[in-house]
Every structure is written in structure tokens, then in C-alpha cells.
Chains A and B, each alone.
Chain A
Amino acid sequence: MTNLVLLFISTVLINNLVLVNFLGICPFLGVSGKLESAFGMGAAVTFVMTLATTLSWLIYHLVLDKFDILFLQYVVFILVIASLVQIVEMFVRKFSPALYQALGIYLPLITTNCAILGAALFMVSKNYGFLESVIFGFSGGVGFSLVLMIMAGIREELKFADIPKAFQGAALTLITAGLLALIFVGFSGLVSA
């Protein structure tokens, strides 16, 4: 149990997918303009990532490993993610129109979110067990949402700042992300691995 809690904390704060592993940078730069959309994107990613790592773990260990076809893993993982996103989208639309309204536009974007595939690949390379994989997927999503929302909060404030022309937009966002990454380095002593 302690293990799982530590895994959660270290995935959210220390090995943050966005700021340490550079996964999911595209939505991180694209959707972090407004706090509200950042929350929607974060929720959608957390949801899909938890399901994707769970499902990938099952397929990897019960099918690919068993039949010795590991070389197919990239093709299989991306198909799992793409179809998962599709199913989740249809499911949410049918059963929870309110949630669909909130997540709707973010769902299709998730297929090309490298954080999802990245989480699945990390899970394999770190040899996590089943329960660990589920927690890893969930906490990866939480870490992503956390950083995305911090970033959105900062950018909402920056709108009113006087910024040199060349730095407006992407350049400033990247530098802000850099400073944020520097802050997150401070968490690295939190859990001794």
C-alpha cells in the first residue's frame, strides 16, 4: 500500500510526465490558455490514460508476451489508444451528455497526445505489476492536469503583462514552462527511490 502511495506522489510531482519527461507538450502549450479548458483537457487525459495503461498492461502481458510478438507492441498500443478514445467518446456521448459537453472537443485530440502512449511505454519498461500500472496511469493523468492548470493560471495572469513582441505567445509559454520545471526539481528529494 505504501508503495502505491509513493508511486502516486512520485509520478505526480517528481517524475511529472510533462515537466520531466516532456510528454504531452502539444496540448500543454495548446490548451493552457484558459483555466476552464485546461481542467477539461486534464480530466479527459486522466480518464483515458488510466484506462489505456490498464488495457495495455493486460494486452502486453496476456497476449503479446505470451505469443512472443513483442515487436508488434507499438502498433498494438497505438491502436488500443485510438480505439479507446473512440469508444470513450461514444460512451460518454450516449450516457452523459453533460460530461460530453465538457470534454467533447478534447477527446479526439487525445489520440495524438504522446503522454498516453508514453505512459504505456514507461509502464512496460519499468516492469510495473497490474495494480501499479493502474495507479501509474491515473497519477500520470493527475500530474498532467496539475501542471496544465498551474500553467493556465499563470497564462491568464500574463495576458495583462507588457511583453516584448518577439516573446509573445509560444516563446513566453516555453520560458514559463522552463521556470515551472525548475520549481518541480525542488520536489525531487521528496521520495527517495
Chain B
Amino acid sequence: MNKIIKGLWAEHPIFRQLLGMCPTLAVTTTAVNGISMGCAVIFVLTFSSLVVSLIKKIVPNQVRIAVYTVIIATFVTVVDIVFKAYFPAISKSLGPYIPLIVVNCIILGRCEAFASKHDVKSSLIDALSMGLGFTWGLLVLSSIREVLGFGTIFGLTVMPKGYDPLVVMILPAGAFITLGFLVAIMAKLEKR
């Protein structure tokens, strides 16, 4: 149980470890984008951890990072092709940030720090926990930005009619500032 909580709260990849910042900031303009990116990362992280954990004994130490990267890149290619085929609209709005999952430090980080040293079962739990933690982080950030920037959430209007959308929330600046405040809130909560 502790292992599951770890990624969701105590070692949260975004708010505590500041990993995977590019997708976190770039795709969180709408909640749908945030969730899609989260799902893609869960998929890649889980399968990469699984494979890395399975082959950990046969990979020579010197080339391990290169091997992990190739494994990750392979699963990212799968996600990219699936998104293009079944969710072309999402694939278009996420654009180059799908292939950029390859260099998402959460994935390589967990493969190197955890999956390469633990058995398959705990690696899978670790991957799922980190992946879900990442996803709720994205969901919170993207919901805030979508509500304030468009006045909608998941495309549904939630703000009253006279609401004037804060365009800055959709701009890069809004992403940085919102995340900054979220990190500060998390730091405050931890101290209690």
C-alpha cells in the first residue's frame, strides 16, 4: 500500500521531484489533453518498467541507458501510431509532445532508479503509482488552466456568462505560474 501512495503523494513526480516538466507545462491547456498525456505516459512507463525489469540481468551495465532509451522509444512509437489511428484529434493537439515522451525523465528515471533493481511485480506497482501520480498532477494543472483560460472544463462551460477568460492562462506564462503556485501549495501541505 505504501508503494502505491509513494507516487501519488510522498514522491509525486511533478510536485515533489519536478520530473517530466516539458509535457506537464506544454500540453495542459485543456483537461482532455492532460488526461490523454497522462494515459500515454502510464502506458509507456508500465511497459518499459516491465521490460527493463525482465531483462535487467542480461543488459551489460555500460550500455544500459542506451538500451532503456531504445525500449522506451519503441513503446512511444506504439502510442504515437495508436493515437494517430484512433484519436487523430488528440494526436494533432498533442503534436510533438507524444514523441517527446521518449525523453520524459520520469520514465527513464523510474527504469534506472527502480525497475532495473527490483522484481517484475514491484516494478509494475511502482510504474503504475508514478504514472497515476503524474496523471492527477496533469489533471489538476490542466483543469485550472482550462477553467480560467477558456471558462470550460472538458469542453463544458462552467464559468458564468459574463466571465472574461484569462488568456494568459493558456499562454506559456500561465503554465509556469500555475505550476509554481501548485508546487508552493504542495510544499506548504507537506510541512503540516
Contact = CB atoms under 8 A, between A and B. Distances in A.
Contacts of A117: 99-100, 102-103
Contacts of B22: 22-26, 114, 118
A167 B66 CA distance: 37
A4 to B, nearest CB: 23
A191 interface: no
A178 B176 contact: yes
A88 interface: no
Q: Which of B22, B70, B168 has the most CB of A within 10 A?
A: B22
B184 A78 contact: no
A75 B74 contact: yes
A72 B73 CA distance: 9
A156 B46 CA distance: 40
Contacts of A75: 70, 73-74, 77
A169 B187 CA distance: 10
Contact of A185 (B18, B173, B177): B173
A148 to B, nearest CB: 14
Nearest to A82: B66
Interface residues of A, number: 43
A74 B66 contact: no
Q: Which of A29, A75, A178, A179 has the most CB of B within 10 A?
A: A178
Interface string B17-55: 011011001100000000000000000000000000000
Contact of B25 (A22, A79, A121, A171): A22
Contacts of A165: 187-188, 191
Contacts of A175: 176-177, 180-181
A178 B99 contact: no
A95 interface: no
B11 to A, nearest CB: 15
Nearest to A24: B22
Interface string A22-40: 1111100100000000000
Interface of B: 18-19, 21-22, 25-26, 65-66, 69-70, 73-74, 76-77, 80-81, 95-96, 99-100, 102-105, 108, 168, 171-177, 179-181, 183-185, 187-188, 191
Rank and list the top 10 A-B pairs by shortest CB-CB distance, nearest first.
A178-B176, A174-B180, A178-B177, A175-B180, A25-B21, A171-B184, A182-B173, A22-B26, A181-B173, A166-B188
